[in-house]
Amino acid sequence: MSNNLCGGAQMPFRPGRVDAIEAGKTTGVPAPETDLEETLLFFERAGFDKVDAIGLTACGHTMGSVHHGGFPEAVDESFVTPNNTNGGSNFDATRGVFDPNVLGEYLNGTGTKGGPLVNSYNDTMNSDKRLYESDKNSTMRTLFAQGAGFLATCADLMGRAINTVPIGVQLSEPITVMPVKPVNVTYDFSEDGKLILSGKIRFLTPAGSSSPRSLTLRVSDDESELEPEAETGSSVSGRSGDAYGTTTYFPFSLSGPAIQNATSFSVQAPEVPEQTFRIDSQAFVVPSLTVLSGTALNATIALCTRFRSCEDLTVHIAAPLTQHGTLAPKINGMDVVVSKAIEEKRVCTLCRGQVILKDVPSGLVTVEALLHGKVVDTLLVNGGQAGW
Ligand code: HEM
């Protein structure tokens, strides 16, 4: 998250990690006073050789500061000022930006000259200096020669660190961005009980290109031209250079014979190949009857085949909750027990249930309906709320 928000290179995200809920048996990171030999041993234990160790440390130390508050032996009291009460001494002149500056400043003696762990008044604490000099600055020079390519080296090194997981944890392939993505495209019932198909198509335009003025949506033999919403979003996924890509939303609501038994719909935009997505009019989470109010989530799933009962259905929810000390939410997963409602809609049985979440969610809640273990529909509740 920090890498992305501060302008680092894209880092592929591989899902499947498990949260660590306590510290590991071995101490994880070296301290500034740790000698070179032991420092390299820490890195080696994590699968990083000397060149990697220098690179990874330079990558980390393009951001942030060493604070007198925590490390008085490295940063003296003179750094404590009314505007810097913790006495932070920055690693490079651009503390909040993921850039190669730390390399040039260290090699050329400009800016902060490599920062507090190179120039500390107490040489014992100069761990960056010891590490960078351990091969006569050869790795630092190679990294500097990469220019902005240093960011990709960092994404690779940090990716290796992040993707080192305990035995038994299997990471999946990286999640890649979908340039065309249906958001909550699902069936619903209108107020007068008619079946409607509605939702939005989210379209990602890379930085530098303009978003399409319309999209073509095809359901069965019917074609509709979709108009964009005025409000757009910005996405790091479409980033090039310093600029973010634009996300444009194309909302729609259809009714009538074409949507009745559709099993798919397709979307076409200029210069993007037509893409087809699956839908299911026989089993779906009903958006207008699935509501989050405070911590109470009421979910309704419609089953429109005669051979299905609410007992065939499993409903999972996943709600992001704020956790102390990190920007990353804790995902609270739960099952909703559903039972047949007295009310029916058209030919559909309605299965209803409620769960009380541990806290008010900090973002979108996912409601997933499964028939005999197979996902048939997913709805994001509170879809208007961006991010998490
Ligand atoms: C030889 C190995 C390393 C040593 C001895 C070391 C030591 C330190 C120390 C003492 C601080 C100051 C903390 C504070 O005052 O708040 C710091 C900050 C930091 N380190 Fe390292 N570090 C090492 C390697 C790394 C690596 C491999 C990364 C990540 C890839 C990293 C990322 C950071 C970041 C982002 C900060 C800034 C924190 C802030 O501003 O609050 N460090 N490091």
Domain 2-162 matches domain 283-381 at the CATH topology level = no
Closest residue by Cα to atom 39, ligand 1, is 64
Looking at the domain 2-162, which fold is it?
Answer: Peroxidase; domain 2 (1.10.420)
Edge to edge, what strands does the sheet with 180-189 contain? 180-189, 195-205, 243-254, 232-240
Distance CA(273)–CA(104), nearest Å, equals 44
271 to 223, 268, 314: CA distances (angstroms): 18, 9, 40
**Closest atom of ligand 1 relative to the 30 alpha carbon:** 5
Angle at CA of residue 306, ends 292 and 186, nearest 5°? 35
Q: What is the pLDDT of residue 383?
A: 53
The two tokens of residue 105 are 């400043």
Distance CA(43)–CA(66), nearest Å, equals 21
Q: What is the pLDDT of residues 17-59, one digit of tens each?
A: 987 888 878 767 899 999 999 999 999 988 999 999 999 999 9
CB 113 within 8 A of CB 164: no
Distance CA(336)–CA(332), nearest Å, equals 13
Domain residue ranges in the chain: 2-162, 180-278, 283-381
Distance CA(236)–CA(5), nearest Å, equals 8
Looking at the domain 180-278, which fold is it?
Answer: Immunoglobulin-like (2.60.40)
356 to 102, 319, 333, 379: CA distances (angstroms): 49, 11, 12, 18
CB atoms within 10 A of CB 23: 8
**DSSP state string for 201-241:** EEEEE-TTSPPPS-EEEEETTEEEEEPPPS-EEEEEEEEET
Mutate to test the pocket of ligand 1, among 44, 66, 132 (most ligand atoms within 8 A of CB): 66
Distance of CA 287 to the CA centre of its chain: 25
**Closest atom of ligand 1 relative to the 59 alpha carbon:** 30
pLDDT (tens, 9 = 90+) of the chain, 388 residues, equals 788 878 899 888 899 998 788 887 876 789 999 999 999 999 998 899 999 999 999 999 999 999 999 999 999 999 999 999 999 999 999 999 999 999 999 999 999 999 999 999 999 999 999 999 999 999 999 999 999 999 999 999 999 999 988 889 999 999 988 889 999 999 999 988 899 999 999 999 999 888 899 999 999 989 999 999 999 988 878 877 778 899 999 999 999 999 988 999 999 988 788 999 999 888 999 999 999 999 999 999 999 987 779 999 999 999 999 988 777 788 899 999 999 988 887 789 999 999 999 999 988 999 999 998 899 999 999 854 444 3
CB 237 within 8 A of CB 204: yes
Distance CA(270)–CA(265), nearest Å, equals 17
Distance 69 CA to ligand 1 centre (A): 14
Closest residue by Cα to atom 37, ligand 1, is 64
The domain made up of 283-381 is a member of CATH 3.30.565.10 = no
Tell whether the torsion through CA atoms of 259, 262, 264 and 270 is positive or negative: negative
The two tokens of residue 111 are 């800016």
**Closest atom of ligand 1 relative to the 31 alpha carbon:** 5
The two tokens of residue 258 are 């074409």
Q: What is the pLDDT of residue 6?
A: 87
CB 62 within 8 A of CB 91: yes
Residues touching ligand 1 (Cβ under 6 Å) are: 30-32, 39, 56-57, 59-61, 63-67, 70-71, 127, 131, 158
Please state whether 325 falls in left (phi above 0), alpha (psi between -120 and 50) or beta.
left
Helix axes 138-145, 150-162, angle to 10 degrees: 120
Give Dmax over CA atoms of the chain in angstroms: 79
The two tokens of residue 369 are 């309906």
DSSP letter, residue 262: -
Q: What is the pLDDT of residue 7?
A: 86
The two tokens of residue 55 are 């690179």
Q: What is the pLDDT of residue 387?
A: 40
Minimal CA–CA distance to 59: which of 134, 163, 168, 132? 132
